Amino acid sequence: MFRSLWAYRGFVWSSVLREFHGKYRESLFGAFWSVASPLAMIIVYTVIFSQLMRTTLPGQEQVPFAFSIYLCAGVITWGLFAEMLARLNNVFLEHGNLIKKSNFPRICLPVIVTLSALINFGIVFGLYLVFLAIIGHWPGWMVLALIPLLALQLLFTLGLGVFLGTLNVFFRDVGQLTGVVLQFWFWLTPIVYTLPALPEGVSSAMQYNPMQPLMAAYQTIFLVREMPDFTSLAPLAVLTVLFLLLGAHFFLARVGELVDEL
């Protein structure tokens, strides 16, 4: 599988670039819109939430735009997770005609989705870093802690997404269910609210949400500007390994049947 990906690396990269350029080909302002939307999001969150929700962050009352920093750290990284999972969920169905007509390693499609989502994330995240620099809250060398967190998130999403995407070819209800679960999952993760603001029983139940410590780690880096607690990510790391193995096994076992089902 990895040898096939390397052999078709040109196809993967050209597909990513074609998808990015195609998104804005008929637009008057072109790729400007890829910047305008996240920029508007950051401005709205800053203007509306910076004063309204500051008191919900204990110890951060003196930090300007504290809740905006906290909120954007979670929303932007969750956006990468949600975009990848939603697209991986339908990746084989969306490219059904290509799969039927062309002979290429099918695993290229999830990789193309991942790289495309990373480009979109890079644009939004770059604006977020500029925002942090402007308000004087640059995280310093702590920003390097982002690398293992992103790697873990990408692998978890890829394993889960390939499994669901393959399953969705044979059971189409999976796609609809995933969209509903993603909505609930977002609101059950402390992103637009804080963990201390929850009742004690609800706060304790958050330990069963594997995305909660990951979002908390991002927020620690950019708001508190400290190294996150990597030990809290152990359950997510275990789930990542399980989903990578499960996704790879199920995909390789069913890849020969994809064309017939599509």
114-134 tens-digit pLDDT: 999 998 899 889 888 988 999
Question: Which of 114, 151, 144, 108 has the alpha carbon at shortest distance from 129?
Answer: 144
Is residue 143 assigned to a domain?
yes
Is residue 28 assigned to a domain?
no
181 against 26, higher pLDDT: 181
Is residue 177 assigned to a domain?
yes
| CA 161, chain centre distance (Å) | 11
User: What's the token pair of residue 109?
Assistant: 């499609």
pLDDT, residue 1, reads 72
Is residue 2 assigned to a domain?
no
User: What's the token pair of residue 125?
Assistant: 């995240």
Is residue 238 assigned to a domain?
yes
Report the pLDDT averaged over residues 24-36.
61
pLDDT, residue 148, reads 96
pLDDT, residue 59, reads 67
Q: Which residues of 30-66 are buried (b: 16+ CB within 10 A; e: fewer)?
A: eeeebeeebbebbeebbeebbeebbebbeebeebebb
pLDDT, one tens digit per residue, over 133-170 is 998 899 889 999 999 999 999 999 999 999 999 999 88
| 177, pLDDT greater than 80 | yes
pLDDT, residue 217, reads 96
pLDDT, one tens digit per residue, over 52-78 is 655 567 666 677 778 888 888 998 999
pLDDT, residue 257, reads 79
21 CB neighbour count, 10 Å cutoff? 11
| 31, pLDDT greater than 60 | no
Question: Which of 92, 146, 39, 107 has the alpha carbon at shortest distance from 244?
Answer: 107
Report the pLDDT averaged over residues 223-251.
93
pLDDT, residue 172, reads 85
pLDDT, residue 129, reads 92
The answer to whether 114 touches 84, Cβ cutoff 8 Å, is: yes
Is residue 200 assigned to a domain?
yes
Q: Is 11 exposed, middle or buried (0-12, 13-18, 19+ CB in 10 A)?
A: middle
pLDDT, residue 245, reads 95
**How many domains, in total, are found in the chain?**
1
Q: Which domain holds residue 210?
A: 34-261
Question: Which of 144, 126, 137, 135 has the alpha carbon at shortest distance from 223?
Answer: 137
CA dist 139 and 216 (Å) reads: 15
| CA 168, chain centre distance (Å) | 20
What is the percent of the chain with per-residue pLDDT over 90, rounded to a whole number?
A: 39
pLDDT, residue 32, reads 62
Is residue 13 assigned to a domain?
no
**For residue 254, how many C-alpha atoms fall within 13 Å in the half-sphere facing its CB?**
20
pLDDT, one tens digit per residue, over 181-190 is 999 999 999 9
| 252, pLDDT greater than 90 | no
pLDDT, residue 50, reads 60
pLDDT, one tens digit per residue, over 200-212 is 888 888 889 999 9
CA dist 149 and 218 (Å) reads: 8
Is residue 89 assigned to a domain?
yes
What is the percent of the chain with per-residue pLDDT over 70, rounded to a whole number?
A: 87
